[in-house]
């Protein structure tokens, strides 16, 4: 695969950095199709309920009523509300469509609020899982993509909302910080590109091996 064809996302890059072999088997070779779990089904259902509420005015189902106050507080912020907003960015950091064949990286904002008057934006990611290891990296990448797609925006505030745990992790970025942040991603993605170029996918043994689907790996307890 040529370097120009390598694409990545926040979750893909994290997967690769966690274990290159697992990434290759799961994401590249697709030897282990994604299996839905009760947690992933629940997460998708909550996201859809919030999107339908914000976009269409569909009442939030009773079973998710405890989430409504925080969702309302966010929706009351000034600005244009864009739900499940898909963005792609090319290698030379130009905005492009989510499925553009020339994309380098892509991502979806659960909720993006563009405040054109204040030249600022808010990115919200709804989380239905544990808040033990909040991953701000996702917020950094989303902020960079917003700067690319909305050239007038000067500041992006972003947050992971842990709905069940009732906590949040926040991040703020100014446009002037974007260039350095993109370079940090370039350094990380270069390792992914090198793995593709050399076709070397080393395993990284960790406590997560017990949850890994790659049963053929000697580090997998199911081997
Ligand atoms: S079992 Fe562990 S080392 Fe092997 S592929 Fe899976 S995560 Fe990587």
Residue pLDDT, tens place only, 198-218: 999 999 999 999 999 999 999
pLDDT at 133: 76
C-alpha–C-alpha distance, residues 75 and 146, integer Å? 18
How far is the centre of ligand 1, averaged over its atoms, from the C-alpha of 37 (Å)? 20
Confirm if 89 and 102 have CB atoms less than 8 A apart: no
Q: Is 220 in the pocket of ligand 1 (CB under 6 A)?
A: yes
C-alpha–C-alpha distance, residues 82 and 172, integer Å? 19
pLDDT per residue as tens digits for the range 154-188: 999 999 999 988 889 999 999 999 999 999 999 99
C-alpha–C-alpha distance, residues 83 and 111, integer Å? 5
Q: Atom 7, ligand 1: which residue's CA is nearest?
A: 209
- Measuring CA to CA, how many Å separate 217 from each of 73, 173, 221? 47, 40, 9
More confident position, 6 or 134:
6
pLDDT at 1: 44
The CATH number of 7-12+37-184, from 2.102.10.10, 3.40.50.1970, 3.10.20.30, 3.90.320.10, is 3.90.320.10
Q: Is 24 in the pocket of ligand 1 (CB under 6 A)?
A: no
pLDDT per residue as tens digits for the range 98-123: 999 999 999 999 999 999 999 999 99
Q: Is 131 in the pocket of ligand 1 (CB under 6 A)?
A: no
Share of residues in the chain with pLDDT > 70 (%) = 98
Q: Atom 5, ligand 1: which residue's CA is nearest?
A: 22
């Amino acid at each position: 695969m040529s370097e120009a064809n390598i694409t990545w996302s926040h979750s893909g890059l994290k997967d690769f950095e966690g274990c290159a072999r697992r990434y290759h088997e799961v994401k590249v070779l697709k030897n282990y199709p994604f299996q839905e779990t009760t947690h992933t089904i629940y997460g998708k259902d909550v996201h859809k309920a919030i999107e339908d509420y914000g976009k269409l005015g569909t009442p939030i189902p009773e079973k998710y009523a405890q989430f409504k106050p925080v969702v309302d507080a966010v929706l009351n912020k000034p600005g244009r509300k864009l739900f499940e907003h898909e963005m792609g960015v090319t290698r030379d950091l130009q905005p492009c469509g989510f499925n553009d064949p020339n994309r380098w990286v892509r991502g979806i904002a659960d909720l993006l609020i563009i405040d054109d008057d204040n030249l600022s934006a808010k990115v919200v990611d709804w989380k239905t899982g544990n808040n033990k290891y909040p991953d701000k990296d996702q917020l950094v990448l989303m902020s960079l993509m917003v700067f690319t797609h909305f050239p007038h925006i000067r500041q992006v505030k972003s947050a992971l909302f842990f709905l069940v745990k009732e906590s949040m992790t926040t991040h703020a970025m100014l446009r002037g910080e974007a260039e350095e942040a993109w370079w940090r991603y370039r350094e990380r993605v270069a390792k992914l590109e090198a793995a593709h170029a050399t076709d070397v996918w080393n395993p990284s043994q960790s406590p997560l091996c017990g949850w890994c689907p790659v049963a053929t790996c000697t580090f997998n307890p199911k081997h």
